[in-house]
Amino acid sequence: MPPYEPLTQDGPAIGNREAELHPHLSTLRVRSAPTIDFERPRYRQTRLSRALAACGTSRPAIAGIDTSMMFLAVASAAAVSASADAQPAPRWVLALFPLLVLLQLSLRGSYGPRLLMPVLDGIRLMITAASMTAILIIALQSVIGEPDINSPVLRLWIFTAVFLVVGRVVVNRIQYWTRVRGRMAIPTLILGAGVVGRQVARRLLSRPEYGLAPVGFVDSDPPALQTAHRPVPVLGGFEEAEELIDETGAGHVILAFSSFPDSSMLPVIRACDRRGIRVSLVPRLFESVNDRLMLEHLGGIPVLSLRPVDPKGWQFTLKHAFDRVAASLLLLFLLPVLLTVALLITLSSPGAVLFRQRRVGRDGQDFELLKFRSMTMRPAGEEFVPTNGCAPGGVEGGDRRTLIGRLIRRLSIDELPQLINVMKGEMSLIGPRPERPEYVELFRNDHDRYGERHRVKSGITGWAQVHGLRGQTSLADRIEWDNFYIENWSIWLDVKILIMTAAAVFRGD
């Protein structure tokens, strides 16, 4: 076995946060022996923390929590009917309703293995299952000729939705808490140490809520890179994969791209199957894969059919029509706030109330973006150069924010004039944030797929922004999130972004 590649702590390979969450990474050093000194994270484990970790990550425990919530919902609905002297639900409804709800949750993958269930997706799933069950019960009642039971079913539906949502939010928070603190981190091997493999490793290190701790790469011919550019070490080649899985105690394997043929990875997949280890695959052309992917078969050959989003289709036409109507209503509703902020800006510092700047929107068309002015004028001769790999934005150069400017930026009130841009059809409520023309030309030449974000209208808020990519943050991550939004656009995704934006504004983020 070739010697292991060292993992240094003095470069950008692993930051303090990652070292804190995954201290076992620092134990991998250059070795000539085929033994890996792998240590799992050491935390003070109490009975409570172990119980919470099990509740948040065990599929039987999650199903048990949902069952308990259903029992409470049925009991509450029956108690309310009795106390209000209202018509109670028949016993067959009280028995069948929770069974149908749990069956739907199971069929929709609520208890299946998955990396992460976002809280909003979980809430949507709970409400959908309760609603569909209520509709089925009412339809069944009409078929069998039972007396009208709409009122008790309605109460049962409300209690079910409320209790299931509360239970799922608690489970989600427990899962997040245990994973971020490393209590349930699963050692993970990444097959392929190329660009995609390194991107997967960095994403897992920066997002510990996935619950996967990358311990190393497996690649027979890894690219020649300095260790500082590789977030975790290369442990060996594909021929040693089974041995490395056992030595590291890996509980998850991710297949990324490599220079070797796929046939060399098949024995690794079969070895994982024998050990009960879950395998995830990064598909080829993953940039074009979205939630609309369809799996079909040509005989015994699986075929993935791509169904891309059409930014110029009728769905986006309806979206933009809604944007204009909503922007007009919001401007009318927020008029007192806008006038008050304009007056405060005028009184606080000299200069125009509105800040105007050329930005690039859909199909590369320039437009004039509007914001409330939150800063004093930039001194003559002062120029701002963004850090390499970071997008511009936020406070560029010296802090010139006024007192009122700090407040409106913290609450994102300075963005409200862009509703005028939306009403004029230059922007959308939701989409990639627009950039200045000079930076667009620079980033288009330096970063792949940057220009693809201009397939849709720019937005006041977007998928990248609600994930913390505002101001001077990673440009590569912003491009990745923006293009994900375009490829996977749906009405539900827009609703999620609006909810997450409101939550971020409420938190002052």
* pLDDT tens-digit readout, 262-319: 777 788 888 888 888 889 988 887 777 888 888 888 888 888 888 888 888 898 999 9
261-269 — which CB contacts under 8 Å span 24+ positions?
Answer: 264/220, 264/238, 265/191, 265/238, 267/238, 267/241, 267/242, 268/191, 268/218, 268/238, 268/241, 268/242
pLDDT the model gives residue 165: 94
Higher pLDDT, 428 or 25: 428
197-201, 340-344, 413-417, range with the lowest pLDDT: 197-201
pTM of the full structure: 0.77
Report the alpha-carbon angle 498-503-509, nearest 5: 110
Average confidence (pLDDT) over 132-151? 80
Q: How far apart are CA 66 and CA 57, in angstroms?
A: 14
Condensed to tens digits (0 to 9), the pLDDT of residues 79-118 reads 888 877 777 778 888 889 999 999 999 888 888 777 777 8
pLDDT of 26 > 50? The answer is no
Beta bridge partners of residue 366, listed in sequence order: 360
Residue 467: half-sphere exposure toward Cβ, Cα within 13 Å: 19
Residue-level pLDDT at 185: 80
* Window from 230-239, 248-257, 309-318, 393-402 with minimum mean pLDDT: 393-402
Which amino acid would we find at residue 294?
A: M
Local confidence band at 430 (pLDDT 50, 70, 90 cut-offs): very high
479 contacts: CB under 8 Å, gap ≥ 6: 447, 449, 450, 453
pLDDT of amino acid 20: 47
Of 27, 38, 140, the residue nearest 90 (C-alpha): 140
Q: What is the pLDDT of residue 43?
A: 40
Please write the tens of the pLDDT for every residue from 219-229.
888 877 655 56
CA 207, chain centre distance (Å): 10
Average pLDDT over residues 16-28: 43
Q: What size, in residues, is the chain?
A: 509
Whether 248 shows a pLDDT value over 80: the answer reads: yes
Contact 497, 484 (CB under 8 A): no
| pLDDT of 504 above 70 | yes
Q: What is the pLDDT of residue 8?
A: 35
pLDDT at position 427:
95
- Segment 127-151 shows an average pLDDT of 82
Q: Give residue 505's pLDDT.
A: 85
Per-residue pLDDT, 225: 67
> What's residue 336's pLDDT?
94
pLDDT band at 368 (very low <50, low <70, confident <90, very high): very high
pLDDT tens digits along 374-405: 988 777 666 777 777 788 877 777 778 888 98
Q: What pLDDT does residue 230 have?
A: 67
Would you say the C-alpha torsion 364, 369, 374, 375 has a positive or negative sign?
A: positive
Do β-strands 366-372 and 428-430 pair in parallel, antiparallel, or remain unpaired? unpaired
Nearest to 135 by CA among 104, 106, 162: 104
Residue 320: per-residue pLDDT: 94
Is residue 39 a contact partner of residue 16, using CB atoms and an 8 Å limit?
no
